[in-house]
Structure 1
Amino acid sequence: MLTEARKAVPKDQRRSVPHARAQAAIPLWAMLAALSAVAAMSQAFRTVATLFASELQREFGASTQEIGLFAGAFHLSFAVAQIPIGVALDLFGPRRTVSAAFLLACAGSFLSVFAPNLPVLVASQVLIGIGCAPAFLGAIVFVTNRYPASQFARLSGLVLSFSGIGMLITGTPLAFVVETWSWRAGFLVLAILSAIVLAANVLLVSDERVEPGRERKRPGLLAAFAEIGPLLAQRHTLGILLLGGVSYAAFLTLRGLWAVPMLMDRHGFGLVVSGHIMLATSVAALLGPPVFGLLKPGNRGRRYWIVASAAFCIAAFAALAGQSSSLVDVIAVVLLGFMTGYFILQYADVRAAYVEEVVGRAFAVFNTAIFLGVAVMQWLTGLVGSFAAAQEADPFTPVFVVIIVLLAAGIASFVLLPWPRGKGWER
């Protein structure tokens, strides 16, 4: 019986039958949870720089610029790896791609524990950034491959919300570890958690088994990369990327750079009170994706929701630019956290706009636009804010005006440039 079962499996896909049976018994939600845990660890790694900065300055004598290099190494390597990871997801599937890449994150986190100097620590961040590159992509490609299209927004919203646990880990819990022991102990905790998550993905996750005779023809590696050019050239790609490049960037620029200084300088809030407001904003950002994921407006209706949500964000930034009361500013910041949920509709839009064979690469290109947009918007608002401060003017109003203009340009591009077409998309 065992021999017959093995013969029924194509030779190039053959694994032990007991192992195949064991994985077949694992429910899809458990596999998705394991992949979502990788996304949570990615969020944790990208938010540790603030916790470790003062410790690194004391131990290594690092300057502010060097701390910036340490923090930026993760994001740069993460962004650069997006397209190769997207190709790998299309060719090899989430299980092998995520597990192989996240092994680098585990190695980088353990290397960080024993880093003798700052250059080694920066190199470890590069490894971690590459290792985390398929974190969210792997989960949403898994959802694309294993669930009906009608469930994509809901499930990917849950994945995005669950990944926010990583930000909570690097809040009070990891701060306690660092304060009690050291930043190395903090990295050790992350390294152990990463190893557990990697083991869960290796043991639990399996890629979809295709019946003999129905295998999808996959291109070679070079051909897969070559297909990115035609994907970028499709009539609807530019509008998707231009709005994607400013939507998440608007919130991350507010949350990462301007919200706390605005609350402290405008309204005289202390750091603790501002921290409480940021915690409320983070909680709102956890609630937004699953709420927006419940929407099922169809492909064209989804685009109307995206435009309306982005326009709402413009209104919230306009309230901030107007130098209103402290209550208005706090409400606007928290609401903008909740509105991050509409980004999940943008991922669903990408899912619907491209054929399944290239959807991993499409997500990767979209992610690249997002992170490049974050870098450009943070640099540009920093330039504008610094110029305003040098003129002894309020730096926040011109910063928020710049964000409004960029969001408006993104919406105009999304609406006016060609939309996807075809009978399947029009549903």
Structure 2
Amino acid sequence: MLIALASAFALSQAFRTVTAMMASQLKTDFSLTPQQLGVFAGTFHFTFGAMQLFMGIGIDLHGVRRTILAAFPVAVAGALLSALAHDFWVVVAGQALIGVGCAPAFLVCTVFIARRFPVARFASVSGLVMGIGGIGMLLTATPLAWVVQHSSWRNGFLLLAAGSALAWIAVFIFVREEAAARNRGGETVMQAVRQFGSLFALPHTWGIVALGSVTYASFITLRGLWLGPLLIERYGFSLVASGNVALAVSIVSLFGPPLFGRFDPNGARRGWITGFTAAMAALFAVLAFVHVAALAVAIALVVSFLTGYIILQYADVRIAYPEALTGRAMAVFTMAMFLGIALMQWLTGVAATVGAAHGVDPFEAVMLTTAVMLAAGAAAFRLLPAPR
């Protein structure tokens, strides 16, 4: 059952990282500015994040299976709309639909794990699922680059639509859920919404949200938006060559979450989280000024591996709230993550546009903006109240 749910998560990972391989053709076909490219990439993550509250309520009231089966067809529709679009804003609308459809993809996995596995195994099993989900990023590396280069970005969306339909069928066939996992307390929708509000009344929620909004966002902003343009425009890579680097980055990212989950430091977890975030900020600051292709690729690979520590943030959230609020707590954290991606991709697009207008290398502006946001998130996580 968990593998079937993870297949939907893998397609979600694929959708959120398509921009890096499609960016060049999209810019040419629609005459896009870097800021518009940031809007395209960020739309998926904005709608994905905005829907987390509703998906968390859906999971707690109606269960994992019903929620993902109801939502995921919207992603298929969005991919088809994108493939057929001949106007930039129609493609953006398709991205919005894909974000809505994929919104519960990882959330259903984390809630399923929280309900079916012991607390002590949460980090390790979640890390394994994140590794499986990373297979979706493999699809949007060399394979997608080859499809885009030899046909078009439209066929890339068609292939992802077909894969999403297969994932939905797998969930429908294999996933079963105990009745007790659905609305165990007879809770109403309004009561569920009030419970969401109560999470934000807890002081430790704000530090969790502040850091959650920048950590995964930094990796997805690099891998899903700027990696392709960086390699092609700064270092002269071909599209397929940049796809090969994206493939290597994606493969390395598969190993981080299971490893960090297996060696979860438990009592020292929050210190580790802060330290790794600071290290990520430093790597992005260095990447801003690197003009040696091999070193830039090496930094991207290190970032992709270190990103696995984000699984420790999920473990931190898991123990910070009572079990009855697991679905909603995970939804709040996931909402922060993906609204953060939308914000970071939009801000880095603005930074690139403003930088270019003032004679600054746009990629310097992008990487330094990412580094500053990571540093600010780490400071907030460290200084704001921690859970008891």
Identity %: 49
Within a 5 Å distance, the mapping from 1:211-250 to structure 2 comes to 216-250=184-218
In the alignment, does 2:54 pair up with 1:84? yes
- Per the alignment, residue 270 of structure 2 pairs with 303
Return 5+ residue gaps in structure 2 as ranges. none
Aligned position for 2:254: 286
Aligned to 2:128, which of 153, 158, 162? Answer: 158
* Corresponding position of 1:340: 307
Deviation at 1:253, TM superposition (A): 2.9
| 1:369 and 2:345 correspond | no
Using a 3 Å threshold, how does the CA distance of structure 1 residues 82 and 203 change in structure 2: closer, same or farther? Answer: same
**Quick one: distance in 2 between partners of 1:179 and 1:93?**
41
Q: Partner residue of 2:171? A: 201
What SS does the corresponding residue of 2:276 show, helix, strand or coil? helix
1:38 matched to 2:5? The reply is: no
Once the two structures are TM-superposed, the CA of residue 378 in structure 1 deviates from its matched residue by: 3.0
TM-score, normalising length from structure 2? 0.86
Q: Distance in 1 between matches of 2:354 and 2:91?
A: 33
Q: Residue 142 of structure 1 corresponds to which residue in structure 2?
A: 112
Q: After TM superposition, give the deviation of residue 357 of structure 1 in Å.
A: 1.4
Normalised TM-score (structure 1): 0.78
Structure 1 residue corresponding to 2:296, chosen from 329, 335, 343: 329
Partner of 1:358: 325
Call closer, same or farther: CA 1:203–1:367 in 2, change over 3 Å. same
Q: CA shift at 1:293, angstroms?
A: 1.3
1:244 counterpart letter in structure 2: G
- 1:8 aligns with none
The change in CA–CA distance for 1:392 and 1:197 in structure 2 (over 3 A counts) is closer
Distance 1:412 1:119 in 2: 37
Which SS does the other structure have where 2:213 is aligned?
helix
The one-letter amino acid of 2:72's match is F
Partners of 2:375 and 2:47 lie apart in 1 by 29
Alignment partner, residue 25 of structure 1: none
Q: CA RMSD in A?
A: 3.2
Bigger Cα Rg:
1
Say which SS state the counterpart of residue 214 (structure 2) adopts.
helix
Q: Deviations over 1:199-252 (max 9, x none)?
A: 2111211223549xxx94242111101111110110100111111112122223
Greater RCO, CA 8 A, separation 6+: 2
Cα separation, 2, equivalents of 1:314 and 1:255: 15
The runs of 5 or more residues in structure 1 that have no matched partner are 1-30, 422-427
**Superposition pairs of residues 312-327 of structure 1, within 5 angstroms:** 312-321=279-288, 323=290, 326-327=293-294
For residue 184 of structure 1, report the CA deviation from its aligned partner.
5.4
CA distance in 1 between partners of 2:20 and 2:348 (Å): 20
The amino acid of 2:170's aligned partner reads: A
For the residues of structure 1 that align with 2:244 and 2:305, how far apart are their CA atoms?
16
1:150–1:296 contact (8 Å) kept in structure 2 = no
**Distance in 2 between the 1:79 and 1:232 partners?**
16
SS of 1:166's equivalent in the other structure is: helix
Equivalent residue runs for 1:97-136 within 5 Å: 97-110=67-80, 122-136=92-106
Tell me if the contact between 2:255 and 2:305 (Cα under 8 Å) persists in the aligned partners: yes
- The match for 2:44 among 74, 84, 88 is 74
Question: What is the rounded CA distance, in whole Å, between the counterparts of 2:324 and 2:270 in structure 1?
Answer: 23
**Of Structure 1 and Structure 2, which has the larger fraction of its residues in helix?**
2
Tell me what 1:349 maps to: 316
Distance in 2 (CA, whole Å) between partners of 1:37 and 1:255 is: 20
Q: 1:419 is paired with a residue of what secondary structure?
A: coil
Once residues 91 and 393 of structure 1 are traced to their aligned partners in structure 2, the CA distance between those partners, rounded to angstroms, is 51
Per the TM alignment, residue 183 of structure 1 is displaced from its structure 2 partner at its CA by 5.4
Q: Would the aligned equivalents of 2:130 and 2:257 in 1 still touch at CA under 8 Å?
A: yes
Deviates more, 1:402-411 or 1:228-237: 402-411
